[in-house]
Structure 1
């Protein structure tokens, strides 16, 4: 099935849930968010404007109506909402079980958190041939799905991570992620890897220094980039050994092909990042202090 937008896809795969508080009525109109002509709509101003959405990029049409799918994705309270979850949608296979607290989990819709990003990593490294979507809840305080897009096939993809759009190819992601995992396993913090400023407490021997230089050299084209920001966020301690097995990176004593230079748009994060979208909290969250003094 071909979907108009990522929110429409998520809502459909979740079983088209109905939220009575949306006040959806039999009022035909064009949805301001997905631009579809729909028979049942709700007032757009009530659900798509205000402090929750300071960035109008989620709007595709000039209209005072919003469809039930888009209104559902943008609203809710407590566990009856989705903005706190990292979401993966793909129809080619049944996905692993979602977090048990997720209310809207389904066979082709995976709700997870940083505690287990394995299904997300596998999809970014090897996308399905059909439609798929990923949005990453870094802080859990911002709407990501309204700004996410549907990817098709295994070519260049885009995922939304809080206020950041990240573009890459599966091949670039695989190689960057593999070198990140190698450095995380060596004891370097996510912040140190993202900005290629080594954690000196992890450089205790000549072999440590050689390993850092080798992997950092491969990551240099992506220093402080959106792709590297994503790659350092995804792995956690519990699954690090599994990632190292599935995504091995050639070390200084294991010759391999050099990492290709990434696209120009991936070399700096500044142009891609926008201001805060919704709610309180830091723009970066969940990865230790700004000094990068925590490994996980």
Structure 2
């Protein structure tokens, strides 16, 4: 146990912490230095004994007044941050391992009492959820490893008002669990606690006859260097086959995955021996197939 002051932040507010893949503890602190007449944010890195090791001013963003709201560090040591600004009320910012900004996305523009949180999965996709109590609704957005929208800001549930910030937990295969406490449903005051699980495609989109893999049986990463992982789901037990074709229509690889049970699956494809280029991957199950493009870069 250790308890030490942080002398480099004389007016620290809104502290948040995250654990990096290398075991280091990082803290994000709003530094309200009244003598300077403004606010700023810093990242601090700590040793195991609690002594401060490094001090990193947060990179300047394209807004005059802002503060770090929450942040997480993914398996590749990228920083995913929620920013609360006066002109842009809620935004997502991604920083690389050297704390350089690589993505900035506006989540919500209207002023309100916002409660927000975010989490990343094993490959660095980021899920953000927030509540805007002025509109009595819960929203969500999903961003890929490059900070691009997979799901743009959307309404998850309307007519509810949160009593606290939701909690997020990623499951393997693209599913998420969210827990929130509701204090108002419509016009009725409540004290309910909700557990809600939801998935981003490719985990659960099927056609009517339930005979083909998920409609978006995507692969990550894409483009890829040597390996990419296919994610798909089956509505019933079925044999599954993966075929890869070049742009001439020639089949360059075929893998029989065997009989797979109902549910979510993943398969790591190794492109050893294949040159750089564009390829088409086809996943077949129960006589149905889904085709997807992927790019191999050596």
**TM-score under structure 2 normalisation?**
0.24
**TM-score under structure 1 normalisation?**
0.24
More helix by share: 1
Larger radius of gyration: 2
Which of the pair has the greater relative contact order for Cα pairs under 8 Å at 6+ separation?
A: 1
